[in-house]
């Protein structure tokens, strides 16, 4: 495992604070929108990451989430719909000394930008993706998205949706993702902790944020995230710790045959030794996929870092190939190139 932030990014010589990242722009999200908490978490975690403030960069697409770059004082591009992952890929490949962050939504990344989303993950480009999943199109005022639960009534599904939604975690792992985590907008402490882990990860990290859209899909995650029953319906995964959850800390996840199973410690002879211990860093994504897919009511929804596996990053490999070519290539400048191969002099 890797506890060091990226060494190619220059560290700040002075201690930074939250104020270093607050922009002078008025934040125009609806009051009560989950995005406010995400913005606050970013401002909290960026000083802790320790890079120079000029080395942070935000990229976004289109949607409520994608106004993010205007609200945080870093370099930034507010792009076009769905293309944030491709823009961010260009940013990181061109300048690997930047800590590149991407703010996107379920429409931006799962629908119009689905192609770029899977390919940045497949390439493992070192970009930190914050996926604001509110299961609705907010900025266009309430159409269903690729993550809207089947049967939901929205403006474009008056009789209920007839589409199977994406589980973003399943998509990330299907695209050979090396880092996937899930958090709730209403639990800032976990969000900050997970974002720090995402920043440390070399490669594409995807943090799915179960976010509430107070106007068009209010309480969409409520069945799971409501404080009343959150402890029983979610499980916070931490590397090296047993998968125990519940208000009374007596429920756990074990592997039975080829499936995960929820058990109660102390019942039917189950002890803590039967409970799976989370290994976020293992390369095999099998258990990670099962964890990412866990859904209420059969399972608790997994929160925290579900997968954080080490693989070479595309941006590192680009630098390696370029250094090799520069050291070993015969063509050192364009004049060499122009005069390479068959040439002749006419006098």
Write down the least CB distance from residue 27 to other proteins, Å: 12
Q: Rule CB under 8 A: say whether 115 interacts with other proteins.
A: yes
Beta strands per DSSP E along 197-291: 205-210, 234-237, 244-245, 251-256, 259-264
Q: Rule CB under 8 A: say whether 344 interacts with other proteins.
A: yes
Provide CB contacts within 8 A for 194, sequence distance 6+.
181, 183, 207, 304, 305
Select 80 or 295, whichever has its Cβ closest to other proteins.
80
d(CA 188, CA 198): 15
**Residue 200: other Cβ atoms inside 10 A:** 18
Would you give the DSSP letter of residue 150? T
Which residue in the set 94, 150, 153, 277 belongs to the binding site for other proteins (CB under 8 A)? 94
Select 116 or 307, whichever has its Cβ closest to other proteins.
116
First to last CA, the chain: 65
Q: How far is CA 205 from CA 92, 127, 173, 260, 308, in A?
A: 13, 6, 11, 25, 8
3-state secondary structure of 136: coil
Q: For 141, what's the count of Cα atoms within 13 Å in the CB-facing half-sphere? A: 0
Select 171 or 280, whichever has its Cβ closest to other proteins.
171
Which residue in the set 18, 119, 238, 293 belongs to the binding site for other proteins (CB under 8 A)? 119
**Segment 39-68, which members bind other proteins (CB under 8 A)?**
52-55, 57-59, 62
Q: Rule CB under 8 A: say whether 25 interacts with other proteins.
A: yes
Q: Rule CB under 8 A: say whether 337 interacts with other proteins.
A: yes
Q: Rule CB under 8 A: say whether 13 interacts with other proteins.
A: no
Write down the least CB distance from residue 237 to other proteins, Å: 31
Which residue in the set 164, 259, 298, 332 belongs to the binding site for other proteins (CB under 8 A)? 332
**Strand pairing category for 179-184 and 205-210:** parallel
Write down the least CB distance from residue 226 to other proteins, Å: 35
Which among 146-154, 160-168, 227-235, 323-331 is the span making contact with other proteins, rule CB under 8 A? 323-331
Which residue in the set 2, 17, 95, 156 belongs to the binding site for other proteins (CB under 8 A)? 95
Give ∠ CA 123-58-89 in degrees, rounded to 5. 20
Q: For 115, what's the count of Cα atoms within 13 Å in the CB-facing half-sphere? A: 6
Phi, psi dihedral angles at 227 (to 5 degrees): -55, -35
Q: Rule CB under 8 A: say whether 88 interacts with other proteins.
A: yes
Q: Rule CB under 8 A: say whether 77 interacts with other proteins.
A: yes
Q: Rule CB under 8 A: say whether 317 interacts with other proteins.
A: no
Interacting residues with other proteins (CB under 8 A): 10, 25, 52-55, 57-59, 62, 69-70, 73-80, 83, 86-95, 97-98, 115-116, 119, 318, 321-322, 324-326, 328-335, 337-339, 341-347
């Amino acid at each position: 495992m890797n506890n060091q932030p990226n060494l190619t990014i220059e560290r700040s010589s002075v201690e930074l604070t939250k104020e270093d990242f607050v922009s002078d722009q008025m934040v125009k999200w609806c009051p009560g929108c989950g995005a406010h908490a995400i913005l606050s978490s970013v401002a909290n975690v960026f000083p802790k990451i320790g890079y120079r403030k000029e080395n942070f960069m935000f990229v976004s697409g289109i949607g409520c989430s994608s106004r993010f770059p205007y609200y945080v004082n870093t370099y930034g591009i507010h792009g076009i719909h769905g293309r944030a992952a491709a823009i961010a890929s260009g940013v990181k490949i061109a300048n690997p000394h930047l800590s590149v962050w991407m703010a996107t939504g379920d429409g931006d990344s799962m629908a119009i930008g689905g192609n770029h989303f899977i390919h940045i993950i497949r390439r493992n480009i070192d970009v930190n993706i914050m996926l604001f999943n509110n299961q609705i199109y907010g900025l266009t005022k309430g159409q269903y998205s690729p993550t809207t639960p089947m049967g939901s009534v929205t403006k474009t599904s008056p009789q209920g949706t007839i589409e199977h939604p994406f589980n973003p975690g399943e998509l990330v792992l299907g695209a050979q993702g090396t880092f996937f985590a899930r958090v709730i907008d209403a639990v800032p402490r976990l969000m900050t902790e997970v974002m720090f882990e995402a920043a440390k990860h070399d490669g594409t990290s995807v943090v799915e944020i179960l976010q509430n859209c107070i106007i068009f899909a209010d309480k969409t995650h409520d069945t799971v995230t409501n404080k009343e029953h959150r402890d029983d319906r979610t499980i916070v995964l931490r590397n090296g710790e047993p998968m125990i959850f519940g208000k009374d800390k007596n429920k756990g996840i074990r592997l039975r045959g080829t499936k995960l199973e929820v058990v109660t410690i102390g019942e039917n002879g189950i002890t803590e030794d039967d409970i799976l211990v989370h290994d976020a860093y293992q390369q095999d994504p099998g258990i990670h996929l099962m964890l990412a897919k866990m859904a209420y009511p059969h399972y608790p929804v997994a929160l925290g870092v579900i997968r954080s596996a080490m693989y070479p990053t595309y941006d590192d490999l680009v630098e390696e190939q370029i250094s090799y070519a520069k050291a070993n290539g015969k063509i050192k400048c364009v004049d060499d190139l122009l005069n390479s191969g068959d040439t002749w002099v006419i006098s």
